[in-house]
A = this chain, B = another copy of it.
Amino acid sequence: MKVGIVGGTGDIGEGIAMRLSQHHEVIIGSREAEKAVTSSEECYRTLTDMGLSCTISGVSNQEAVDRGEVIILALPFKHVESTLSSLHGLEHKIVVSPVNPMEKRDYFVYTPPPEGSAALYIKKKLPAGTRLCTAFNTVAANKWKALTEDLEFAIPVCGDNPAAKETVMTLVNCIPHIRAYDAGPLAASCMVECLTPLLLNIARFNRLRDVGIQFR
């Protein structure tokens, strides 16, 4: 599968890229293609230095969209609108939102837009018919990047198109030890997105680091 990562040079994007590129062709995108090239070269070096094979390249965000079959929007919520308005062709893709709108006050607060979740907001901004799923929300960037660590975490996946959701769950499950769970329709995404501020609070108030979730 060809996976384009829009905003793929951030910590989360790079981390997901390093995990997925061992199993799929990953195309890291960035507003500045050069930055994506540098990032993909660093990922390639890190992985091959560990004896891991991978397929990864760096291009502009638009080229990542053009070349990917599944497009992951690895963006902070505040950059979603400007980035999406600069891209075209997403109606032909499966798009994945790992976006968690939140604010850091005395504690982390889930701050969804009026639509109810980042996912429903993104759906409004995308061309009609784009197959949108929520996934990859709940694993910390440090964990994605800690390549010697097994990721024994659950990843809930929401979406309205069953085939697209199945594809995204398969993509998630290609990462050893991670397990994708169907968490319902796209409208249920708010319950997934707000796990991240919860996990950040759990880490903060219990002096833990990079807390993730499991279901049992």
Contacts and interface: CB of A to CB of B under 8 A. Distances in A.
Nearest to A203: B215
A206 B165 CA distance: 13
Contacts of A182: 202, 205-206
This chain's copy number in the assembly: 2
B213 A215 contact: yes
Interface in A159-206: 181-185, 187-188, 190-192, 194-195, 197-199, 201-202, 204-206
B202 A183 contact: yes
Contacts of A206: 181-182
Give chain A's interface residue range (CB within 8 Å of chain B). 35 or more
B190 A205 contact: no
A110 B187 CA distance: 11
Contacts of A108: 184
A147 B123 CA distance: 45
Contacts of A201: 183-184, 188, 191
Contacts of A110: 190-191
Nearest to A196: B191
A201 B110 CA distance: 20
A211 to B, nearest CB: 5
A106 interface: yes
B194 A107 contact: no
